[in-house]
Amino acid sequence: MKVLILFLIASWLVTSLQVVNADEPKGRHAGEPAVLPLTEVSLFSSGVGYFRHDGHVEGRATVGLRFKVDDVNDLLKSLVVQDLDGGRVSAVSYGSREPITRALKSFSMDLTANPTLGDLLNQVRGERVEVASPNVVKGAILGVEKKKRAVGREDGQIVEVEYLNLLTDDGLIAVPLEQVQRLRLLDERLAADLQQALEILAAGHNNQKKAVELKFDGEGRRRVRVAYVVQTPVWKTSYRLVLDDQKAPYLQGWAIVENTTDDDWENVRLSLVSGRPISFVMDLYQPLYAPRPEVRPELYLSLRPQVHGQAMVEMADAAMPPPELQARRKAMAAAPMAVMSAPAPMAAAAAARLAPEQGVVAGASGAQTGELFQYAIQAPVTLARQHSALLPILGEEVAGKKLSIYNPFVQPKHPLHAFRLKNTSTLHLMQGPITVFDTGTYAGDARIEDTAPGSERLISYAMDLTTEVESDRKGGPQNLISVALRKGTLIARRRLIDETVYRVRNRDRKEKSLLIEHPVRFDWDLTEPKNPAERTRDLYRFAVKIAADKAESLRVREERQIAESVSLSDVGPDVLVTYIGAQVVSEKVKDALRRVVELRETLERTRSERARREQRVGEIAQEQGRIRENMAKLAPSSPLTNRYIKKLDEQETELDGLRREIEGLKDTEARQQRALNDYLLGLDLER
């Protein structure tokens, strides 16, 4: 397969850098600027680019850079300037970016709020103007007045009209602003102020680049270097994987880069770096003003003479700042500006690799640069502006194996054709798409994540229609495995079982290697098969071989233990009887449970006896209430009254006995409850 695609590279803001020397080099006309060429570009996958310019200057020289406004913050954050042969960098200057509203408010006529002509004239009251309306008059502005005027004869619509009131040599006149054809400020300084404000307002609409000047000072011809980091488009990778049963797998890699600058690059050393260095944008270009409190002078009434008392203790003279603070202030005032040093040069490129059967030269070598990985493009690159490019970075045979991979959450019926790719190259494979060709035919697309040299990745690229998989999941019984008694609590441990059976049918005429992906559940233990073929962060992978036109099955068994806690004083007796009858429970635990049942039954009998007596007390009280109600309706000496009195006497005797028995039962109940609690708290038995 031959792939020849042309694109161009990326960088992005780098604009022309020009040098104007006091002594012009030979070969150029006097005053013609020399170019400080771009020599090196490193693009990072995090979306920034490192740019370096190298050249020569003589004597005092100025290098002019032009940048997009949005890129100036990155420039100010990362700019490195060097005069390498005994000279020095005297200054770096650039146009300020004061907020336009603040700049406009500094003029005598404020244009920030899009004022009308009447608003502007009110701002310069007292100034002399010349007005043509159409007669020419001169006078001082008193102000702009709004008057209501009827428009039309039929409907009588009322509108507001602005009048310019002027004090002329002939007196006061009012000129309708709608009739003014021309108006001129007679104060030239005021007119110039207005013109300058308009120029600043127009400059705010200008999206062109901003100028930055670098001044070098020294003698003779010297080497200079300018480098900076700015935002760039993210460079990307794409791959071609060629599979053939008769040949070794072949992998070809391309880097996709974009040049979004307005300048052509000529013979640039290009490096592509994968990694995620921390990068951010900070507003260093916009002037920042700290808010300050407004303090007004205090106004005092006339003061009366005061009589001041004599001091009790003599005070020292006014305190001076501490000596260490004075020394620090002097040191800060005398400290020179810090000098920035250039970063170490990128790693040198290694020998290019050749893939003759593909007809494409892999023109990049790999190198580890700290925590990042760099592709150094071997040959200098010449690129036109506003273009993109595909650059070959890899072309060689790799190791790997074809197989199928099944995941029921991806496709419940069929597995996917896959390839286990081992990166046998010396390059770090950055993430990107892979187009797969099998036996000279397009087979599908895949994705690969970052792959270090020597590591493996599974990629899937098509559905395997000749293989069918059925998954059957079912839960098993909950088996009791242990019972513990601790301080009145019964702790029962149970084993949960979950099984999934994968049934695979191979309808192809050749043997299949299948990987079955099963989710990892971190609170479950894998018991069958004991050892999966491999395990990722989230998946088990089980290897299954299926002969041609045959079927196989795989059983995945997982177990999980759970613990249930119940209070022995609250749980029902039927639950305790169930644990007493369980085979896994030890005899010591069973004896303790029987004793708990016995103590609880004794306590319940006492409670029942007390409840029956309390119920009888309630019945007697209710009956006595009825008797007393009837007695109130009878004569005191009637026979029925005497019967009622006798009945009440008998009930009072019974009540006395019941109350004594209830108190005794309460004491017994409390004693039995303490015995039960003490026994429960003393339990510490396992199984």
- Digit-coded pLDDT (tens) for 20-62: 443 344 444 444 334 588 899 988 888 888 999 999 988 888 8
- 300 falls within a domain: no
Q: Which DSSP string do the residues of 500-515 spell out, in sequence order?
A: EEEEEEE-SSS-EEEE
Q: Which helix (H) or strand (E) holds 227?
A: strand 221-231
- Same domain for 530 and 642? no
Task: Label residues 555-585 b or e (16+ Cβ within 10 Å = b).
Answer: ebbbbeeeeeeeebeeeeeeebeebbeeeeb
CA distances from 671 to 359, 603, 682 (A): 99, 9, 17
- 274 falls within a domain: no
Mean of all residue pLDDT scores within the chain: 79
Identify the residue with better confidence: 354 or 193: 193
Burial of 619 (0-12, 13-18, 19+ CB in 10 A): exposed
The total of structural domains in the chain comes to 3
- 627 falls within a domain: yes
- Same domain for 596 and 483? no
Q: Which of 567, 591, 609 is the last residue of a domain?
A: 567
Q: Which helix (H) or strand (E) holds 92?
A: strand 88-94
- 283 falls within a domain: no
How far is Cα of residue 381 from the mean position of the Cα atoms in its chain?
Answer: 36
Q: What pTM was estimated for this model as a whole?
A: 0.59
- 41 falls within a domain: no
pLDDT per residue over 435-483, tens digit each? 999 988 999 999 998 888 999 999 999 999 999 999 999 877 788 888 9
CA pair distance 276, 430, nearest whole angstrom: 12
pLDDT per residue over 114-165, tens digit each? 888 888 888 889 899 999 988 899 999 999 988 888 776 666 678 888 899 9
- Same domain for 122 and 169? yes
Task: Report angle CA 675, 676, 680 to the nearest 5 degrees.
Answer: 120
Is residue 434 scored above 50 in pLDDT? yes
> Are 158 and 150 contacting, i.e. CB atoms less than 8 angstroms apart?
yes
- Same domain for 581 and 562? no
CA pair distance 597, 618, nearest whole angstrom: 31
**Tokens representing residue 545 in the block:** 């071989």
Confidence at residue 299, expressed as pLDDT on a 0 to 100 scale: 52
- 552 falls within a domain: yes
Query: pLDDT category, 263, cuts 50, 70, 90?
Result: confident
Q: Which of 533, 567, 601 is the last residue of a domain?
A: 567
**Tokens representing residue 476 in the block:** 């098993």
Tell me, what amino acid is at 232? Answer: T
> Are 366 and 271 contacting, i.e. CB atoms less than 8 angstroms apart?
no
Q: Which of 552, 516, 559, 540 is nearest to 414 (CA)?
A: 516
Read off the CATH number of the domain in which 113 is found.
2.30.30
**Tokens representing residue 407 in the block:** 């995941």
- Same domain for 503 and 607? no
Q: Which of 33, 6, 1, 37 is nearest to 20 (CA)?
A: 33
Is residue 333 scored above 50 in pLDDT? no
- Same domain for 559 and 614? no
* Structural domain range at position 682: 573-686
> Are 71 and 35 contacting, i.e. CB atoms less than 8 angstroms apart?
no
Confidence at residue 340, expressed as pLDDT on a 0 to 100 scale: 29
Query: pLDDT category, 320, cuts 50, 70, 90?
Result: very low
Task: Label residues 456-484 b or e (16+ Cβ within 10 Å = b).
Answer: ebbbbbbbbebbbbebeeeeeeeebebbb
- Same domain for 528 and 673? no
CA pair distance 581, 195, nearest whole angstrom: 103
- Same domain for 542 and 604? no
- Same domain for 549 and 659? no
Q: Which of 173, 203, 233 is the last residue of a domain?
A: 203
- Same domain for 436 and 583? no
Confidence at residue 288, expressed as pLDDT on a 0 to 100 scale: 65
- Same domain for 422 and 535? yes
> Are 230 and 48 contacting, i.e. CB atoms less than 8 angstroms apart?
yes
Query: pLDDT category, 309, cuts 50, 70, 90?
Result: very low
- Same domain for 595 and 634? yes
